[in-house]
Amino acid sequence: MKITQTTRSSQQGKARLSSIILLFLVLSGSWLLWSGLYKPLLIGLGLFSCLLSTYLAHRMGFFRHHKALLRQLPKLPGYWLWLLKEIVTSTLDVAKIILSPSLPISPTLVELKTLPKTDVGKVILGNSITLSPGTVTINLSDGKILVHCLTQAGAKDLEQGSANRRAAELEGKVK
């Protein structure tokens, strides 16, 4: 069974009922586990918020992307470890810059081609770049990503493209 709407359909896409139910069950399960209180009022509120979240996810077009997301899920922890290492080193760099009296910044714009093919991969790449201090994604469109860097050294690191490659590897051999 397919649920479609004529308005906003470009955003929402088509969603299979089974995926919607799966998301609802996952949300309810985690709500029950983390609430730990089983009074009727609270369970009612939980059900309401799960329904609302599912509806909002559908409205935002989550079900166009969830397959790509699920495919990348097993590889995410390894990616996070690598990202954590990057975050630690760039945090030290930025802290040093902020605390040094001469404030040695050299703001630079870098435009990169995104290696990840799926929307989910692109979002992961953009958010990873923003997450590591010293680089902020300011635009992402047409397979290109515009990044503002605090220093030219940071811009050079980014142009080497290790983040780009890692994010693309997350997708494996999709397409």
Partner 1 sequence: MIDLVIDVLSWILLILGGSCVLIGGVGGLRLPNFYTRIHASSLTDTMGNILIFLGLMLQAGFTLATLKLFAVMLFLLLTGPTATYALANAALLSGIKPDTGSTNDDNTEESPK
Spell 20-36 as b/e; 16+ CB within 10 A means b.
beebbeebbeebeeeee
By the rule CB under 8 A, 50 interacts with partner 1: no
Alpha-helix runs per DSSP H in the chain = 9-12, 17-35, 40-59, 62-72, 76-99, 119-131, 152-160, 162-170
Of the residues 3, 26, 84, 111, which one makes contact with partner 1 according to CB under 8 A: 84
3-state secondary structure of 79: helix
The three-class DSSP label of residue 114 is: coil
CB of 86 to partner 1, least distance (A): 10
Tokens of 119: 């929307």
The verdict on 47 binding partner 1 (CB under 8 A) reads no
Min dist. Cβ of residue 138 to partner 1 (A): 4
Residue 70 interacts with partner 1 (CB under 8 A)?
Answer: no
Q: Judged by CB under 8 A, does residue 41 bind partner 1?
A: no
Given candidates 9, 11, 49, 139, which one binds partner 1 under the rule CB under 8 A? 139
d(CA 107, CA 135) in angstroms, rounded, equals: 10
Among 11, 21, 98, 159, binds partner 1 (CB under 8 A): 98
Residues that bind partner 1 (CB under 8 A): 34, 36, 84, 87-88, 91, 94-95, 98-99, 103, 105-107, 109, 126-128, 130-140, 146, 148, 150
